Amino acid sequence: MNQAMTLYEAIRERRSIGRVKSDPVERGQIEQILEAGNWAPSHMHTEPWRFYVMTGAGRQVLADAYADIAAENAGSLSSEQLEELRSKQGTKAFRAPLVIAVAVSPSAAPGVIRIEEFAAAHSAVQNMLLTVHALGLGAIWRSGEPMYHPRMKRTFGLQDGEELVALLYIGYPDMTLPAANRKTPVHHKTVWITE
């Protein structure tokens, strides 16, 4: 980990990195990323996040899910067109050497508010993204309709009430870091209440 990088620098400098090299990510680094996610805050200490780590041939489970979802939504195609579509969609799982699916498993304990469980899982994802950046790696947080499809939930054995919240594609950057920008300065999004 880059010991010289402050937390504030990591927050300001982290960017979505959509193109990464095929070089594998070291197991120790993966464990650091997971540990960072595990230290996210959660109301009532529920720790509702779950991590599914896919590397090497293990990414095929994600590829199969992408392919099946695309085929289901394809309409009427020839068998050749369908196979081409399945292949194209399946390759998405191999865009990075490491893919971590993050799910939320909301607690059913009294007093737990479901939406707060999602907030906790999203906080875990942010911790993971900041750690990825601090390690000199790149990542992009992908979601979209296929992630919420029942077929994708079956891929990871999610039960009723559990949901995927992120597919993190992680590797060594193979692109220039995008420029920093925010469309609106923070003072335009802030209301100060002092009395």
86 domain residue, yes or no: yes
56 domain residue, yes or no: yes
Q: What is the pTM of this model?
A: 0.93
150 domain residue, yes or no: yes
194 domain residue, yes or no: no
Long-range contacts from 41-46, C-beta under 8 angstroms, 24+ separation: 41/120, 41/123, 42/116, 42/117, 42/120, 42/123, 43/112, 43/113, 43/116, 43/117, 43/120, 44/107, 44/109, 44/111, 44/112, 46/106, 46/107, 46/109, 46/112, 46/117, 46/120
**How many domains does the chain divide into?**
1
180 domain residue, yes or no: no
Domain that holds residue 50: 7-173
Mean pLDDT along residues 54-66:
98
The pLDDT tens digits for 108-132 are 999 999 999 999 999 999 999 999 9
Say yes or no to pLDDT of 4 above 90.
no
* DSSP structure class, residue 187: G
| Distance from C-alpha of 104 to C-alpha of 107, rounded to nearest angstrom | 9
182 domain residue, yes or no: no
1 domain residue, yes or no: no
